[in-house]
């Protein structure tokens, strides 16, 4: 029986390699929801084929071929029918628009700020204040377009002037012997919750944080979706209004 499993595993390995080649490189490098389901089914059928001694092994190989053919036919069909492609493959979602959070779309996609902050750090983005547009792609990846990518835009110019003003203030602090501030990758408020660990890390306290959100027109921490410590001040992400 052990030898039989080894032989089946070897056959399945090379068989699936051929099937993946037939289905296309897209399956490996760019999984959509539809692709993911197909791959899960192929994996399940392959496992059943290795373990099952009652049903002929070739039946499972035929089942895998059928799944691959279905995927190939649908892939060709979806190329010509964008409406159906959005249903099967999903559609991109704009999460940040002109530096403002699209809360409605985030709720629709079950995408929270904790997920967003992790993805930003993985792409070396320190804060949402650097992001002008952020798109959640159909395959779950995010595409980021920073203000620095649009040097001639009005918003980028305004941001640049604001940062220059903060830098000037910070420079005067350097002359007095204190350290120049910067953008820190440690959010202080996410989805209305204060991150006390990050506050402690930055040598700040809740009293200072509460004072800052009051200055910016917020009554409670729960009113703030995202806040970050930057250039000696508090950045609070605005909400996109439809």
Spans of all domains in the chain: 2-88, 93-239
What's the per-residue H, E or C state across 151-197? CCCHHHHHHHHHHHHHHHHHHHHHHCCCCCCCECCCCCEECCEECHH
The enclosing H or E element of 144 equals strand 142-146
pLDDT digits (tens, 9 = 90+) for 107-166: 988 899 998 999 999 999 999 999 999 999 877 889 999 998 887 665 555 554 455 544
pLDDT at 207: 95
Q: Which of 225, 228, 232 is nearest to 100 (CA)?
A: 225
d(CA 97, CA 135): 9
pLDDT at 135: 95
CATH superfamily membership of 93-239:
bsu07140 like domains (3.30.240.20)
Whether 226 contacts 128, CB under 8 Å? yes
d(CA 105, CA 116): 13
Query: What residues contact residue 17 under an 8 Å CB cut-off, 6+ apart?
Result: none
Mean pLDDT (whole number) for 178-201: 85
pLDDT over 90 at 65, yes or no: yes
pLDDT digits (tens, 9 = 90+) for 15-59: 888 888 887 655 454 566 677 788 889 999 999 998 888 889 999
pLDDT over 90 at 79, yes or no: no
């Amino acid at each position: 029986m052990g030898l039989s499993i080894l032989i089946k595993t070897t056959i399945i390995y090379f068989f699936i390699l051929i099937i993946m080649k037939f289905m296309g490189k897209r399956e490996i490098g760019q999984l959509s929801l539809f692709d993911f389901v197909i791959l899960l089914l192929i994996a399940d059928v392959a496992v059943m084929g290795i373990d099952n001694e009652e049903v002929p092994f070739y039946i499972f190989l035929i089942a895998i071929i059928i799944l691959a053919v279905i995927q190939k036919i649908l892939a060709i069909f979806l190329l010509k029918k964008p409406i159906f492609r959005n249903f099967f493959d999903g559609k991109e979602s704009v999460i940040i628009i002109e530096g403002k959070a699209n809360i409605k779309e985030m709720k629709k996609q079950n995408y929270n700020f904790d997920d967003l902050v992790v993805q930003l750090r993985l792409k070396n983005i320190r804060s949402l204040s650097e992001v002008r547009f952020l798109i959640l792609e159909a395959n779950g990846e995010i595409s980021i377009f920073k203000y620095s990518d649009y040097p001639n835009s009005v918003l980028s110019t305004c941001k640049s002037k604001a940062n220059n003003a903060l830098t000037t203030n910070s420079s005067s602090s350097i002359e007095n012997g204190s350290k120049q501030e910067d953008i820190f990758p440690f959010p202080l408020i996410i989805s209305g919750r204060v991150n006390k660990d990050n506050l402690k890390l930055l040598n700040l306290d809740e009293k200072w944080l509460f004072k800052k959100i009051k200055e910016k027109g917020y009554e409670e921490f729960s009113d703030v979706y995202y806040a970050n410590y930057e250039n000696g001040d508090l950045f609070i992400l605005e909400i996109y209004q439809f």
